[in-house]
């Protein structure tokens, strides 16, 4: 398993986590087609050394959190289950920001019940609601932290200014943004997180697209390392910054096992630079 990272100064986890979002129905809506398989994937992830699992109340909605509890509760010592709130679901593939403090408080309280815990180790604001002051959204999470219902607070899909504004209200220990080898629109946020010691959780971390075309640099490097392009994309992320905590997700045990093997790939500086130049 990859080296560890510490979230918020007291949650030490292996640097390759698992994103559970795909363990739902189509459109991230409803139950997975094969519930037994979804439970098996979660249990296999923990067997492989994964001790950071990312979910959200909106995955299903609610289905994902309930599935994690069914598969893994009572949770093993050191297993961190992070969840999120702030998106309302109105149908498959439909996501609506809702950051009113009363709603976020309800979201935390109901996630506690579904996950079967008294405190959520990492609770992330899934999206900043543009219609609600950021300080109000982060403020209620800070209140819940003070009440002992949240250990740490994280953000998702934010820019540097929003991170700084949130930090002025309550301690922020993580940021979860879209970021991968092919899509690096949040370089400034990652650099800020690296400088501040904030855990950076890239979602959609394995996207390779055209970069993986036969004969290309990624394909050639993958063959050189005896790896798949997806594994190399994850290895690149792990080398990009020590605060990066990728959360590749899958509903396949075979792909899960393949992804976790990326933790054992150590890119040379030359290989890292070649891959970095791709996008």
Residue-wise pLDDT tens digits, 212-264 = 788 877 888 888 899 999 999 999 999 999 999 999 999 999 999 999 999 99
Residue 154 has which token pair?
A: 């994280």
Share of the chain above pLDDT 70, in %: 99
207: pLDDT strictly greater than 90? no
Structural domains of the chain sorted by starting position, each given as residue range(s) with its CATH number in brackets = 4-206+240-250 (3.20.20.100)
Residue-wise pLDDT tens digits, 124-159 = 999 999 999 999 999 999 999 999 999 999 999 999
Residue-wise pLDDT tens digits, 16-72 = 999 999 999 999 999 999 999 999 999 999 999 999 999 999 999 999 999 999 999
Non-local (6+) Cβ contacts of 233 within 8 A are 180, 181, 205, 206, 207, 208, 211, 218
Looking at 59, 75, 123, 179, which residue is catalytic? 59
Helix, strand, coil percentages in the chain from 3-state DSSP, rounded to 5: 40, 20, 40
Q: Is 123 a catalytic residue?
A: no
2: pLDDT strictly greater than 60? no
> pTM surpassing 0.75?
yes
């Amino acid at each position: 398993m990859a080296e560890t990272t510490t979230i918020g100064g007291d949650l030490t986890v292996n640097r390759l986590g698992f994103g559970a979002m795909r363990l739902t129905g189509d459109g991230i809506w409803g139950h997975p087609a094969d519930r037994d398989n979804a439970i098996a994937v979660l249990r296999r992830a923990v067997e492989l050394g994964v001790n950071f699992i990312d979910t959200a109340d909106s995955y299903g909605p609610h289905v994902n959190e309930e599935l994690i509890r069914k598969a893994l509760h009572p949770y093993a010592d050191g297993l961190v289950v992070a969840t999120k709130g702030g998106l309302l679901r109105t149908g498959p593939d439909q996501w609506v920001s809702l950051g009113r403090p009363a709603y976020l408080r309800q979201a935390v309280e109901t996630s506690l019940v579904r996950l079967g815990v008294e405190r959520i180790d990492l609770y992330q604001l899934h999206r900043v609601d543009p219609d609600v002051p950021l300080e109000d959204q982060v403020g209620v999470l800070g209140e819940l932290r003070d009440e002992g219902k949240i250990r740490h607070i994280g953000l998702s899909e934010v820019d540097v200014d929003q991170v700084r504004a949130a930090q002025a209200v309550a301690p922020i220990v993580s940021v979860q943004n879209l970021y991968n080898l092919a899509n690096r629109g949040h370089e400034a946020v990652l650099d800020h997180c690296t400088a501040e010691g904030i855990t950076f959780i890239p979602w959609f971390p394995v996207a390779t697209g055209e970069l993986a075309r036969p004969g290309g640099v990624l394909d050639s490097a993958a063959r050189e390392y005896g790896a798949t392009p997806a594994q190399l994309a994850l290895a690149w992320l792990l080398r990009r910054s020590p605060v990066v905590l990728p959360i590749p997700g899958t509903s396949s045990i075979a792909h899960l096992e393949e992804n976790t093997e990326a933790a054992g790939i150590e890119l040379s500086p030359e290989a890292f630079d070649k891959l970095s130049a791709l996008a």
